[in-house]
Structure 1
Amino acid sequence: MGSHAEVDSSSTPESRWSLEGTTALVTGGTKGIGHAIVEELARFGAAVHTCSRNEAELNKCMHEWEKKGFRVTGSVCDVTSPSDRQKLITSTVSSLFDGKLNILINNVGTNKIKPTTEYKAEDFSLIMSTNFESAYHLSQLSHPLLKASSAGSIVFISSTCGVVSINVGSIYSATKGAMNQLTKNLACEWAKDNIRTNCVAPSFTTTSLAEPISCSWHVAACVVVFY
């Protein structure tokens, strides 16, 4: 009979898995789910870049991450702005990571909970551009960098409200439903480029944001590490 190697059941994920040598972009990484994802990826050894509209929050986080010894860089970016998105990917991230990106976490999200009849055009524009349009465009812009890495991974932070009816507002739910379908399309379309595409879509989580953030940070990080 062949011998079986013993498995150390006490080993931690950090001792079994490593992201050393990989690069990651996490949008909206200064609070809530995004902040936790940045720390998890950095803890596994990835070089991480994150962005935020709030420069003061970003600087505070950067100081904390520096003290922890994490390899994290940051830049100010409003992901609802096409020009900001273009600059983030084609200038900042491409330059930092030598034209290659292993992991893209589309995390940024916002919401306004109202009855459908009370939504205004500006509400639709804000929620749609923040939650879906930004993720779609950032994925497009990142494609050459993800392909160049030869091992790309996109993770969308979605929500159960994109699958079933939850009382969080019809626009928010629509953006997450669109995100779920985009995940399926890109998973098939970009597989030939060695780019994996996943989304995580749990329900409410306890974070600093008063809305369904869509997943736990540990699940999101594990999608990147293990699939």
Structure 2
Amino acid sequence: MSGRLRSKTALVTGSTSNIGQAIAEAFAAEGAHVIVSGRNRERGERVIEAIRASGGQADFLAADLDGSKQASQDLAERARQTLGGRIDILVNNAGVYPAPDTTTTDEDTFDQVYGVNVKAPFFLTAAVVPAMAESGGGVVINLGSWIARLGVPVGALYSSTKGAMETLTRAWAAEFGPLGVRVNAVSPGVILPPTPEGGEPHPGEVMMKGTPAGGVGTPDAIAHAAVWLASDEAAFVHGTVVDIDGGRTGVAVIAA
């Protein structure tokens, strides 16, 4: 690694597994002091232990970002204190994915998904950005999804939350860019950990057949994009959604 984030601080939500974990590990490998955040303390401790064992800086903060303003503000304040008073990079990654169809979605599920996927990052960003601006600037990276732009028969609720986050990315870029805070998003395709040798293929692999990539991506693919967006190399990038989806949304998919 090249130390592109040396001396930076970062808060990555939902980073005890999968994409969030890969982003936290990549940020730490590039020199950032990272806050790993999530509900599961045991998994979080394992992540920071691995980062520290590799020579990186990381701390774990337990947080249940349920959509309440208080929960988001509390995490922002604890992260600032742990990081020495400053958050340079915020990654809004935490999310939930119940995928019932529209007619069977109850109100509690609707409120939960919007609470975690939209309200929590909304209020967390609101809590983090003012201090970022006061300290000279910062970076916010949101997580979108390829199904925000390609309809699928199930998952209307989830995909609409990711559409909201991509819209907020553009709106926040306009609102916060003049304050020195860059806001962009990464839109993953079907992302899965590597399949163990001899393991059964994941159903998600079907959705990537016929794409230019020809298969699913791994969490590291998203982490590489997040590192670039967080670094000075992307200093002129504002309000952009970067598709890391193997060509799923940008190219006609030809069924095999």
TM-score by length of 1: 0.86
CA spacing shift, 1:221–1:170, aligned 2, 3 Å: same
1:220 matched to 2:206 = no
Maintained 8 Å contact 1:99/1:145: no
After TM superposition, the structure 1 = structure 2 runs for residues 112-191 of structure 1, keeping only pairs within 5 Å, are 112-191=98-177
Q: How does 1:186-201 map to 2 (within 5 A)?
A: 186-201=172-187
Say what the alpha-carbon RMSD is for the aligned residues: 2.3
- Where does residue 23 of structure 1 map in the other structure? 9
Structure 2 vs 1, CA of residues 186 and 210 (structure 1 numbering), >3 Å: closer, same or farther?
Answer: farther
Structure 1 residues 29-54: Cα deviation after superposition (integer angstroms, max 9, x where no partner): 11000000001100110111121101
Q: How many residues align?
A: 212
Gaps of 5+ in 1: 1-13
Select 2:44's aligned residue among 47, 58, 61: 58
1:29 match: secondary structure? coil
TM-superposition CA deviations, 1:149-205 (whole Å, max 9, x none): 313100001112122213441110110111111011110111111000001113211
Q: 8 Å contact 2:118–2:165 — kept in the other structure?
A: yes
1:45 paired residue number = 31
Match of 2:93 among 107, 112, 119: 107
- The letter of the residue matching 1:177 is G
TM-score normalised per structure 2: 0.76
* Separation in structure 2 between the aligned mates of residue 178 and residue 46 of structure 1, nearest angstrom: 29
Q: Distance in 2 between matches of 1:161 and 1:168?
A: 10
Q: Which runs of 5+ in 2 are unaligned?
A: 195-201, 205-215, 235-256
Do structure 1's residue 88 and structure 2's residue 94 form an aligned pair? no
The whole-number CA distance in structure 2 between the counterparts of 1:210 and 1:129 is: 28
**Using the alignment, how far apart are the partners of 1:219 and 1:34 within structure 2?**
12
CA contact (8 A) 1:101 1:149 kept: no
- Aligned-partner Cα distance in 2 for 1:60–1:206: 20
Range with greater deviation from structure 2 (116-125 or 140-149) = 140-149
User: 2:85 and 2:156 mapped to 1: Cα distance?
Assistant: 38
Q: How many Å separate the matches in 2 of 1:98 and 1:145?
A: 13
